[in-house]
C-alpha cells in the first residue's frame, strides 16, 4: 500500500515537471528568494520591481524571435543592428516630421526588410547562419553609422505623446511594455505549438532532408523565419527607444549575449528541433534578475580583485610606453602629467589605442605611436 502511494506521488511530481517551463520557473523563484535574503531592501521595493519588468521587455521580445530561429536549427546574431536601426528610424521620423504611429510602423518595416534580406542571404547564398548573420550584424551596423553619422538623437518630448503611453507607459504601476512582451510570448507559443509554420520549423530543425521529403519548402520557411525575427527585433528596438528616450547607435549590442543566454537557459535545444517559449520567458527573467541581484547584493564589488589583476597584467605596457612617450609633459606643481589626467587615475578605456586623453582640450590627442599604446 505504501509503495502504491509512493508511486502515485512520484507520478504527480513527474507530471508537474513535465509542464513546459516548470523547472526553469522554479529556478527563477529560487533566485528571487535568494536575492530577497541578500538584498531585501532592493527586491522588496515595488518601484524597483516595476523598473526591472520594464527593462526586461526588449531582450525578451528579441529572445522570442531567436527561439524560433534556434528551433529551426539556425542562429541570428544580427538582431542588435535591427534594434538600433529601428530605433534610429523612429527617432528621426519623430524628431523631424512629428510622426508617431507612422514612425512606429516605418521602424517595424525597416526591421522586416532587414530580416528579409538576411533570409535571402542565408538561403540563396547558402551561407551558414552563424557566419552569415554575424557578417550582417557588422554590415547593418556599419550602414547605420554611415546613414546616421554616428550621432545620438534625444527625443525628450516623446513621454508627452500618447504613443509612449500605449507602448511604454504604465497601467497603475505595471509597465505596459511588459504586457506587450507577454502578449507576444503567447502569440509565439501558438505559432510554435499550434500553427503549421511552427510545425515546419520543428521539422526543419530536426532534419532538413525529412522536411523536404514531407513537402516543406525549407528556403521559403527560412526566409519567413528571418523576416519575423527582423520584425520582432525592430519591435524590441522601438520599445527600448520609447522607454529610454534617446537613440544611441550601439543601443542593441549590449543585448546580444543576454538574448542568446536567455534562449538556451530556457531549454531550447542548440541543435534545433525543439524549443520552449515559456522557458525563454523564464530565461530572460533569470538573466535579468541575476544581473540586477548581483549589483544589489554587492557581488560585483567583490569581483574588484579580478579588475586589479587585469591592471597588474597590463603593467608591462605602462613601463614600455611611459607618460613622456605618450606625448605628456610633467607638471611638478600639480603632481601630474600635463595634457592628461593624473597618472594614477587614467583609465584604459578613456581613449582609443593610438590616442591619449587631453583634459584641457576635452579630446583624445594622437600619440603617433603604434596601436599597441594605450592610456593607463
Grid cell for residue 294: 548581483
CA distance 112 to 94: 20
* Predicted TM-score of the model (pTM): 0.77
Q: How far apart are CA 295 and CA 290, in angstroms?
A: 9
How many distinct structural domains can be found in the chain?
2
Closest CA to 288 of 39, 60, 46: 60
In a domain, 197, yes or no: yes
pLDDT in tens, 20-39: 778 888 888 898 888 888 88
- What's the rounded mean pLDDT across residues 260-278? 93
Banded pLDDT at 48 (limits 50, 70, 90): confident
Q: What is residue 303's predicted lDDT score, i.e. its pLDDT? A: 53
Residues 56, 74: Cα–Cα separation, whole Å: 24
pLDDT band at residue 215 using 50, 70 and 90 as cut-offs: very high
Q: Is the domain of 332 the same as that of 204?
A: no
Among 259, 275, 296, residue at a domain's last position: 296
Q: Are residues 238 and 323 in the same domain?
A: no
d(CA 81, CA 138): 8
CATH number, residue 208? 1.10.3470
For 286-315, what is the mean pLDDT?
A: 62
3-state class (DSSP) for residue 355: strand
Q: Is there a single domain that holds both residue 267 and residue 140? A: yes
Q: Give residue 82's pLDDT.
A: 96
pLDDT at 326 over 60: no
Judgement on whether residues 280 and 313 belong to the same structural domain of the protein: no
Beta strand pairing status for 355-358 and 363-366? antiparallel
Mark whether 193 and 333 lie in a shared domain. Answer: no
User: Is residue 238 over pLDDT 90?
Assistant: yes
Residue 351 has pLDDT above 70, yes or no: no
- Work out the widest C-alpha separation in the chain, in whole angstroms: 90
Claim to verify: residue 312 and residue 232 sit in the same structural domain: no
39 assigned to some structural domain: no
| 179 within domain boundaries | yes
Q: Is residue 29 part of a domain?
A: no
3-state secondary structure of 371: coil
- Residue at a domain's end among 237, 264, 296: 296
If asked whether residues 202 and 262 sit together in one domain, one would say: yes
Separation between Cα atoms, residue 154 and residue 138, nearest integer Å: 24
Q: For the packed helices 46-71 and 277-296, what is the interaxial angle rounded to 10 degrees?
A: 140
Pairing label, strands 174-175, 329-331: unpaired
Q: Is residue 21 part of a domain?
A: no
The residue whose grid cell reads 528610424 is 89
Q: 147: domain range?
A: 44-296
- On the question of pLDDT at 289 being above 50, the answer is yes
Residues 335 and 289 in one domain: no
Look at residue 265 and tell me if it is in a domain.
Answer: yes
Beta bridge partners of 171: 174
Per-residue pLDDT of 69-95, as tens digits, reads: 999 999 999 999 999 999 999 999 999
Is residue 130 in some structural domain? yes
Say whether both 275 and 172 belong to one domain: yes
Q: CB neighbours of 256 closer than 8 A, spacing ≥ 6?
A: 77, 79, 80
Measured over the CA atoms of residue 260, residue 265, residue 266 and residue 270, the dihedral's sign is positive
Are 84 and 110 within 8 A, CB to CB? no
CB 2 within 8 A of CB 8: no
Residue 17 pLDDT grade (very low, low, confident, very high; cuts 50, 70, 90): low
Final residue of a domain: which of 242, 269, 296?
296
104 and 194 fall within a common domain? yes
Amino acid at each position: 500500500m505504501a509503495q502504491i502511494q509512493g508511486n502515485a506521488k512520484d507520478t504527480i511530481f513527474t507530471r508537474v515537471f513535465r509542464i513546459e517551463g516548470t523547472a526553469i520557473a522554479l529556478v527563477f523563484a529560487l533566485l528571487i528568494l535568494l536575492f530577497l535574503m541578500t538584498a531585501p531592501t532592493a527586491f522588496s521595493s515595488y518601484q524597483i520591481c516595476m523598473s526591472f519588468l520594464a527593462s526586461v521587455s526588449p531582450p525578451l521580445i528579441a529572445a522570442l524571435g531567436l527561439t524560433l530561429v534556434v528551433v529551426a536549427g539556425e542562429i541570428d546574431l544580427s538582431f542588435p543592428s535591427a534594434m538600433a536601426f529601428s530605433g534610429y528610424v523612429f527617432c528621426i521620423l519623430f524628431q523631424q516630421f512629428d510622426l508617431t504611429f507612422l514612425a512606429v510602423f516605418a521602424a517595424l518595416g525597416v526591421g522586416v526588410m532587414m530580416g528579409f534580406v538576411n533570409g535571402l542571404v542565408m538561403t540563396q547564398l547558402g551561407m551558414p547562419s552563424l557566419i552569415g548573420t554575424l557578417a550582417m550584424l557588422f554590415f547593418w551596423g556599419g550602414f547605420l553609422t554611415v546613414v546616421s553619422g554616428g550621432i545620438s538623437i534625444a527625443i525628450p518630448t516623446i513621454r508627452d505623446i500618447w504613443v509612449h503611453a500605449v507602448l511604454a507607459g504604465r497601467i497603475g504601476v505595471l509597465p505596459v511594455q511588459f504586457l506587450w512582451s507577454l502578449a507576444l510570448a503567447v502569440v509565439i507559443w501558438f505559432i510554435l505549438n499550434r500553427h503549421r509554420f511552427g510545425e515546419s520549423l520543428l521539422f526543419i530543425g530536426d532534419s532538413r532532408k525529412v522536411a523536404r521529403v514531407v513537402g516543406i519548402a525549407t528556403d521559403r520557411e527560412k526566409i519567413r523565419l528571418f523576416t519575423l525575427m527582423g520584425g520582432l527585433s525592430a519591435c524590441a528596438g522601438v520599445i527600448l527607444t520609447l522607454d529610454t528616450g534617446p537613440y544611441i547607435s550601439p543601443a542593441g549590442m549590449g543585448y546580444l549575449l543576454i538574448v542568446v543566454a536567455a534562449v538556451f537557459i530556457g531549454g531550447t535545444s542548440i541543435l534545433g528541433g525543439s524549443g520552449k517559449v515559456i522557458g525563454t520567458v523564464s530565461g530572460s527573467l533569470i538573466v535579468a534578475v541575476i544581473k540586477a541581484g548581483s549589483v544589489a547584493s554587492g557581488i560585483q564589488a567583490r569581483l574588484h580583485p579580478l579588475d586589479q589583476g587585469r591592471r597588474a597584467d597590463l603593467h608591462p605596457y605602462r613601463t614600455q610606453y611611459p607618460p613622456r612617450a605618450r606625448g605628456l609633459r610633467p607638471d611638478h606643481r600639480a603632481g601630474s602629467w600635463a595634457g592628461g589626467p593624473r597618472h594614477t587615475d587614467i583609465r584604459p578605456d578613456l581613449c582609443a589605442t593610438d590616442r591619449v586623453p587631453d583634459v584641457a582640450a576635452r579630446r583624445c590627442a594622437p600619440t603617433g605611436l603604434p596601436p599597441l599604446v594605450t592610456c593607463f
